Amino acid sequence: MSHKTIKTALVSVYHKDNLAPIIELLHKQGVKLLSTGGTQTFIESLGIPCTAVEDITGYPSIFGGRVKTLHPAVFGGILQRRNHGTDQQEAAAHKIGAIDLVIVDLYPFEATVASGAGHDDIIEKIDIGGISLIRAAAKNYDDCLIVSAQSQYAQLLEILQNGNGTTTLTERKLFAAYAFHISSHYDTAIFNYFNQEEKLPIFKTSIADGRTLRYGENPHQWGAYYGNLEELLEQLNGKELSYNNLVDVDAAINLIAEFKEIYGATFAIIKHTNACGVANASTAAKAYELALAADPLSAFGGVIITNATIDLATATLLNSLFFEILIAPAYDANALELLKSKKNRMLLLQKKNLHTEVVFKNLLNGVIAMAADNHTEVASELKSVTNRQPTDKEIESMLFAAKVCKHSKSNTIVLANGNQLIASGVGQTSRVDALEHAIAKAKHFGFSLEGAVMASDAFFPFPDCVEIAHKAGITAVIQPGGSVKDQDSIAYCNTNNLAMVMTGIRHFKH
């Protein structure tokens, strides 16, 4: 039968918030309640009778609570098939009553790991009885409804109210799907905890939250985002973020993380994941003006991010540009009011920094994974390889350019002066093309390259790039080094009084 009336319910939960209305309704509907430990105490505190699981198993809770429900009287009650003759004969012979509803959640394993707890405490948060109850009840969804998380309480209450204690097959199957999601997510978290040291060549990940997007990268592709975006960002205005919006927001947040507060206010303007403008300055308004100057054409319709509070002066400048998204850690009230004047403009409040240890993507018929590129060059790491040492200003400019270069698509060349991006050439099939593109852009937007610096994401296989850069006015170069012909580029720099430093770290980005 599709409809099943709940006559007996087993309730054993870690989280008891919002449980009382469900217990009270079940009691009102004449449901017999079974429970354990703290949950039994909670139910009885409501003045509602409850049978201890120990009374039906004949065994007490043992081994410090590690074994409470693992007994045929419990699992037989859940797994017996109501329309199966042999099952019912065996249930009658062994006096095993049917259980029609199981409400159980799991020990907070992930939260315990995240809290920095010790290994022994973490191990004790690996649920055994709960996960077994969840799987058993989900397997027998034909006859039993499984509620496997506190987040499902409201939905259960609605079902009990609308069905007067009766559930449908559709409802039970839906909750079974929830249950297997809960159990698989839980086991994945446990595996990944153990695999931190073992490093078995196995890829497992599980993300519990998700949302459907309007479409994917193009309108004919479906799209979805899996993750809890609200933990990172609060949307203050505008339409729903699209797939492409999210890709650019990710690029923007990763780039701005390179610029700590000691650098003052930073603005970056992103277009198709590459920076078309980046600048530091003493005020947010000045930093925005300098970032916009690098490429005001590409900034149209872009994603803008800052590590500074958006004040009214900055908002007034921003308001004259059409852009898709603005991301900031704070907004002054009058600035936010002005920026909200355009209803589709997406305004995001960044609530915390993003830190990623591992990155992965699907590739061929599998998944490729690697450690995130979390290395940022500092002055003490730079190795000067030329006769002329770089000046303090050149070092500052090169470190700034290297940060932008790290977050640009390869092959990439970045030109900077002080703490301002002048131009970049990104995603080119040759490094010479990237450099020539950057020089052409700088000239197009009226920049002089006299005294500017050049950053490259990878080594120069030939001296042609330093020669082209020198002839354009560039005086210092930062690059990883590592080419068998490094000496050719160094020799050119020495002959022409350029300074060059090597980092020993390549930053390819594909």
Token pair of 291, please? Answer: 């970032």
Residue 199's contacts (CB-CB under 8 Å, 6 or more residues apart) are none
* CA-wise closest residue to 50 among 95, 78, 94, 19: 19
Contact indicator for 502, 383 with CB cutoff of 8 Å: yes
**352 vs 117, 303, 346, CA distance in Å?**
23, 18, 18
The answer to whether 333 touches 309, Cβ cutoff 8 Å, is: no
Give the Cβ contact number of residue 63 at 10 Å: 7
Residue identified by tokens 């090597």 is 502
Structure-token match 């394993």, residue found = 109
Q: Which of 174, 208, 173, 168 is nearest to 188 (CA)?
A: 208
Angle between helices 72-79 and 85-93 (to 10 degrees): 150
Which tokens hold the place of 212? 């459907």
- Give me the DSSP letters along 206-231: ----EEE-S-SSSTTS--EEES-GGG
Catalytic residue numbers, as ranges: 139, 272
C-beta separation of 322 from 329 below 8 A: no
Contacts of 410 (CB under 8 A, 6+ apart): 427, 457, 458, 508, 509, 510
Instruction: Report residue 466 CA to chain centroid gap.
Output: 39
Residue with tokens 């930073």: 266
Return the amino acid letter for 419: N
Contact 290, 306 (CB under 8 A): no
**How far lies 69's CA from each of 45, 76, 215, 251, in Å?**
22, 11, 46, 49
Three-state secondary structure readout of 118-139? CHHHHHHCCCCHHHHHHHHHHH
CB atoms within 10 A of CB 347: 20
Kindly report the three-state secondary structure assignment for every residue of 304-315. Answer: EEECCCECHHHH
Angle at Cα 295 formed by Cα 293 and Cα 301, nearest 5°?
Answer: 110
Q: Can you read off the two tokens belonging to residue 100?
A: 């029609």
Place of tokens 């506190």: 150
CA–CA gap between residue 19 and residue 39 (Å, rounded): 10
- How far apart are the C-alpha atoms of 341 and 90, rounded to whole Å? 71
- C-alpha–C-alpha distance, residues 227 and 348, integer Å: 17
Beta bridge partners of 5: 166
